[in-house]
């Protein structure tokens, strides 16, 4: 049959936390004690089984649902908004994406941690994700790029996690009832008290201010042709890389930088970044973008797309459980082509609100027909709800950066 090792590894698959292996170990111990080790075909110690079955943490939702599992990462209690992501790879980029600030992410893919953490794939310097919720956590990664385990990085930045829970059930629950407040606490906590605390918890609204750069940073490339000023609302590093490799010097400014200061930098184009939270929480940025209309080509991604829409008088609303994953089909209404996209957002632009604005819809989501792209031809401004820079995810939409380059080139020619 095989050998159950101290870390509950079976048939070469090692994990310290999954409850199905703990159950197997329990029955193996029962067989060993009652029928003898040889007939059971299993070798293990009773202490190993007890360690594997230790469920020391609980995930509690505000409706009273409770899921018990094994903690990893920081050993703290933490409240957050619970969401789910369906990507099969990319947990390092998800962990470090500032858009997940104050959110606990349920990973629909069952095995997390197996290829470790490398130095190159971080999307921010200091991760601010609320929590990691996984089916099975692997603490013995195998990958030539790996320099650390996921748990070590989580402990370094105070990120809590829970494993061994039924993530399929949790995902379906979120789909049914919507995203909600949740917490990871010690398993022996009083559930009624925890639920009451959750109901009284007010989720923060200052996430953009917390994750944005505090000062201006300049990135230069070889043979630069354009200068892009990017408003940092929680900007992913791969966006900067995507602009640099297309010949753009990038000046990244804090979220609350005024229009006058941005124009003083003499940009060829203005970029509005992704970021966490409700776009209406940053009226300062909305007003800044409004003042920038027509001054230079504008390109917005995710939160930046929503801010662009709000700056023209459109409105946004919160989705039931959002879009998070790497396989969302989008239709380009200009070409009738379908793109498979990477997404991470809770809010969307209200299609009906666009009718009273100079904006037109350029892309739609084929799953729920929500607005995925807008443009104002007169002002050379456009935005998309999804992530053309990927990281992680498909690369079908990289052409949008090229479109931004084209707009800046045309602006130069007509200057």
Which stretch of 42-46, 56-60, 115-119, 382-386 has the lowest confidence by average pLDDT? 42-46
One domain, residues 256 and 365: yes
**How does pLDDT run across 31-83, given as a tens digit for each residue?**
444 444 443 444 444 444 434 558 999 999 999 999 999 999 999 999 999 99
**How many independent structural domains does the chain possess?**
3
| Domain endpoint, select from 141, 167, 200 | 200
104 neighbors 134 (Cβ within 8 angstroms): no
299 neighbors 383 (Cβ within 8 angstroms): yes
| Domain endpoint, select from 185, 200, 215 | 200
Please give the DSSP secondary-structure letter assigned to residue 212.
S
310 neighbors 73 (Cβ within 8 angstroms): no
One domain, residues 101 and 14: no
Phi-psi region of 341 (alpha: psi -120 to 50; beta: other; left: phi over 0): beta
- pLDDT band, residue 21 (cuts 50/70/90): low
- The contacts found for 372-376 with CB under 8 angstroms, 24 or more apart, are 372/330, 372/341, 373/305, 373/330, 373/332, 373/333, 374/305, 374/308, 374/309, 374/314, 374/349, 376/293, 376/312
CA atoms within 13 A on the CB side of 281: 17
- pLDDT band, residue 414 (cuts 50/70/90): confident
Which is nearest to 132 in space by CA: 114, 158, 407? 158
Residue carrying the six token digits 């940053």: 282
CA atoms within 13 A on the CB side of 274: 28
Tokens of 360: 């037109």
Tokens of 296: 């230079």
One domain, residues 218 and 233: yes
Question: What is the three-class DSSP state of 348?
Answer: strand
Q: Give how far Cα 270 sits from Cα of 330, 347, 358, 404, Å.
A: 24, 22, 19, 9
Q: Give how far Cα 88 sits from Cα of 85, 92, 110, Å.
A: 9, 12, 8
Q: What is the pLDDT of residue 412?
A: 87
One domain, residues 332 and 223: yes
One domain, residues 220 and 338: yes
Q: What is the pLDDT of residue 336?
A: 97
pLDDT of residue 401 exceeding 60: yes
One domain, residues 237 and 290: yes
Tell me the C-alpha distance between 249 and 295, whole Å.
18
Tell me the C-alpha distance between 327 and 342, whole Å.
6
Model confidence, pTM: 0.88
One domain, residues 405 and 260: yes
In the sheet where 217-219 sits, what is the strand order?
Answer: 217-219, 248-254, 226-232, 269-272, 298-301, 381-384, 371-376, 360-365, 316-332, 338-349
Residue 210: in which H helix or E strand, if any?
Answer: helix 207-211
Tell me the C-alpha distance between 103 and 83, whole Å.
7
384 neighbors 397 (Cβ within 8 angstroms): yes
pLDDT of residue 29 exceeding 90: no
Question: What is the three-class DSSP state of 337?
Answer: coil
One domain, residues 191 and 283: no
**How does pLDDT run across 184-241, given as a tens digit for each residue?**
999 999 999 999 999 999 999 999 999 999 999 999 999 999 999 999 999 999 999 9
One domain, residues 119 and 145: yes
Q: What is the pLDDT of residue 17?
A: 42
Active site residues: 302, 387, 389
| Domain endpoint, select from 36, 53, 70 | 53
- The contacts found for 402-406 with CB under 8 angstroms, 24 or more apart, are 402/246, 403/299, 404/269, 404/271, 404/297, 404/299, 405/226, 405/246, 405/247, 405/248
**Which domain does 294 fall in, by range?**
207-414
Which stretch of 319-323, 343-347, 392-396 has the lowest confidence by average pLDDT? 392-396
Tokens of 187: 């398993």
The CATH number for 336's domain is: 3.40.50.880
Tokens of 67: 């899921």
Q: What is the pLDDT of residue 415?
A: 72
Q: What is the pLDDT of residue 413?
A: 87
One domain, residues 262 and 215: yes
- pLDDT band, residue 11 (cuts 50/70/90): very low
Tell me the C-alpha distance between 333 and 71, whole Å.
46
State the average pLDDT over residues 387-402: 94
Residue 92: in which H helix or E strand, if any?
Answer: helix 91-96
Q: Phi/psi at 333 (nearest 5 deg)?
A: -70, -20
Q: What is the DSSP string of 241-289?
A: HHHHTTTEEEEEEETT--HHHHHHT--SEEEE---SS-GGG-HHHHHHH
In the chain, the largest separation of any two C-alpha atoms, in whole Å, equals 87
The pLDDT mean for the chain works out to 90
pLDDT of residue 9 exceeding 70: no
One domain, residues 159 and 235: no
One domain, residues 194 and 221: no
Question: What is the three-class DSSP state of 342?
Answer: strand
- pLDDT band, residue 126 (cuts 50/70/90): very high
Sequence-distant (6+) residues with CB within 8 A of 13 are none
Tell me the C-alpha distance between 379 and 32, whole Å.
75
């Amino acid at each position: 049959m095989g050998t159950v090792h101290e870390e509950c590894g079976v048939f070469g698959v090692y994990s310290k936390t999954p409850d199905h292996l703990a159950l197997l170990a329990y029955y193996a111990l029962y067989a060993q004690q009652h029928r003898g080790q040889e007939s059971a075909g299993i070798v293990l110690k009773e202490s190993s089984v007890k360690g594997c079955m230790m469920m020391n943490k609980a995930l509690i939702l505000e409706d009273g649902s409770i899921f018990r599992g094994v903690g990893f990462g920081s050993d703290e209690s933490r409240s957050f908004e619970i969401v789910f992501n369906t990507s099969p790879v990319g947990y390092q980029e998800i962990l470090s994406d500032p858009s997940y600030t104050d959110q606990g992410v349920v990973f629909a893919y069952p095995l997390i941690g197996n290829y470790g953490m490398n130095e190159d794939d971080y999307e921010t310097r200091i991760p601010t994700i609320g929590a990691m919720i996984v089916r099975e956590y692997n603490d013995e990664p195998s990958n030539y790029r790996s320099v650390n385990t996921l748990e070590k990085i989580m402990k370094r930045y105070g990120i809590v996690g829970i494993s061994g829970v039924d993530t399929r059930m949790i995902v379906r629950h979120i789909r049914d009832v919507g995203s909600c407040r949740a917490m990871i606490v010690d398993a022996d906590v009083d559930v009624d008290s925890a639920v009451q605390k959750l109901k009284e918890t007010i989720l923060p609204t200052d996430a953009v201010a917390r994750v944005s750069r505090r000062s201006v940073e300049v990135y230069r490339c070889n043979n630069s042709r354009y200068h892009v000023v990017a408003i940092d609302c929680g900007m992913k590093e791969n966006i900067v890389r995507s602009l640099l490799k297309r010949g753009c010097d990038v000046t990244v400014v804090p979220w609350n930088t005024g229009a006058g200061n941005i124009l003083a930098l003499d940009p060829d184009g203005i970029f509005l970044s992704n970021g966490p939270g409700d776009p209406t929480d940053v009226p300062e940025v909305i007003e800044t973008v409004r003042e920038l209309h027509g001054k230079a080509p504008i390109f917005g991604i995710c939160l930046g797309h929503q801010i662009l829409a709000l700056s023209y008088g459109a409105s946004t609303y919160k989705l039931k459980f959002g879009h998070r994953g790497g396989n969302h089909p989008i239709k380009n209404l200009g070409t009738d082509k379908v793109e498979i996209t990477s997404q991470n957002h809770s809010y969307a632009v209200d299609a009906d609100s666009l009718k009273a604005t100079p904006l037109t819809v350029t892309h739609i989501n084929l799953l729920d027909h929500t607005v995925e792209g807008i443009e104002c031809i007169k002002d050379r401004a456009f935005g998309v709800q999804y992530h053309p820079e990927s990281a992680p995810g498909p690369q079908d939409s990289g052409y949008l950066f090229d479109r931004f380059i084209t707009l800046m080139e045309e602006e130069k020619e007509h200057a």
